[in-house]
Each structure stands twice: as structure tokens, then as C-alpha cells.
Amino acid sequence: MVKELRVTPIRNGTVIDHIPPGMGLKILSILMHDDPAGRTMTLAMNVSSARQGKKDVLKVEDLELTPEQVGKIALLAPEGTINIIRDSNVVKKEKVVLPDRVVGIVRCGNPNCITNQREPVEPEFVVVSRSPPRLRCLYCERELEDIIGNIL
């Protein structure tokens, strides 16, 4: 299939599929930020998709995502799919799920919130809705207006 040719096939790794167009770059930068090993990552942007119109697809070699990374991806791509590739085959396919609580992956947008002072707690949010994601700070009770801009 043509779509399979857009990006080089990988033997082992992870394919993050069904990313809203434009969000792939943000996810890429998050994954690069916590990947000192410098793994090979390939991003395809604005790929035509039967389901979505356009989508971004991100492929990372030799990496399986941590739950924390999946949490961040769920905020950026609530309809995303995570495919685990082993020996060039999709061996596992999971829809991302945003848990009921989002802990330590986004900061509160309220500068006067106690979580933005120097206290030994991680910012924590209650998920009010999943797609589009809406988060309410467990501490100051404000809804986070700019989720993407506040990802840690």
C-alpha cells in the first residue's frame, strides 16, 4: 500500500498513529526531549487517512513508551493509536487512554496555584473530558486553558 511507503519501515519500535495534523511535531519534541539515547524517529505529517482526513504518524525505532509518555500523547492525540512493532510486524495495537487523573505531566496554568510554588507535590488534574481533553486542577480547581503550552 502507498501509505506504507511514506515512511521507512522499522524492524522494532513503536508507531504512533492517528495523531491530529500538526501535533506530531509536538509529540516528537517531547519524545526527543526525554531520549538521551538519540533514537531514530521519523515523522510523517499530513498523511491522508480514511478515518481522519489528514493525520500525522510518528515512528520511533527501538523504543517502547513509558506510561508517562503515553499520558502526554493522550493529551495531544486523544484518538491516537500506539502500535508495537517487532520483527517488522504489528504485534500489539492500543488506543491511547487518558487516565482519570493526570499527574506530573502538565503544570497548572494558574500562577497563584500552590502547585506552582516550591512545594513537594506534582501537579495533578482531574480529567473532565477525554476528547477533546479537559483538565481541572485538583488543587486550585481551575480548568487548564492551555494544555499543550503547559506540558512539562
Partner 1 sequence: MFKGRDIISIKDLSLDDINVILDYARRMVPAARGEENLPLLSGRLMGRLFFEPSTRTKLSFDTAMKRLGGGAIGFSDTSSTSVKKGETLADTIRMAEAYSDCLVIRHYNEGAARLAARFSSKPVINAGDGAGQHPTQTLLDLFTIREEKGRIDGNHVVLAGDLKYGRTVHSLAHGLALYDVEVSLVSPRGLEMPGEIVGTLKEKGIGVREMNSLEEAVADADVLYVTRIQAERFPDPEEYRKVAGSYRVDLNLLDHARDGMIIMHPLPRVDEIAPEVDTHPSAKYFVQAFNGVPVRMALLDLVIRGGDLDG
Chain residues that interact with ligand ATP, rule: CB under 6 A: 3-4, 9-10, 15, 17, 57, 59, 81, 83, 85, 88, 90, 93
- Interaction partner, residue 88 (ligand ATP, partner 1, Zn ion, none; CB < 5-8 Å by kind): ligand ATP
Helix 23-33 crosses helix 67-76 at what angle (to 10 degrees)? 160
- For residue 150, CA distances in Å to 38, 43, 86, 110, 139 come to 24, 23, 34, 10, 16
The answer to whether 119 contacts partner 1 (rule: CB under 8 A) is yes
Strand order in the sheet with 81-86: 41-49, 53-61, 13-19, 81-86, 89-95
Residue window 90-109: x/- pattern of binding to partner 1, with contact defined by CB under 8 A: ------------------x-
- Interaction partner, residue 95 (ligand ATP, Zn ion, partner 1, none; CB < 5-8 Å by kind): none
The answer to whether 110 contacts Zn ion (rule: CB under 5 A) is yes
Among 57, 108, 135, 151, binds Zn ion (CB under 5 A): 108
Burial class (CB in 10 A: 0-12, 13-18, 19+), 102: buried
Q: What is the DSSP string of 37-56?
A: T---EEEEEEEEETTTEEEE
Which range, of 15-23, 37-45, 89-97, 113-121, touches partner 1 by CB under 8 A? 113-121
Among 45, 63, 113, 126, binds Zn ion (CB under 5 A): 113
Question: How large is the C-alpha radius of gyration of the chain?
Answer: 16
The answer to whether 147 contacts Zn ion (rule: CB under 5 A) is no
- Binding site residues, partner 1, CB under 8 A: 108, 110, 112-115, 117-121, 137-143
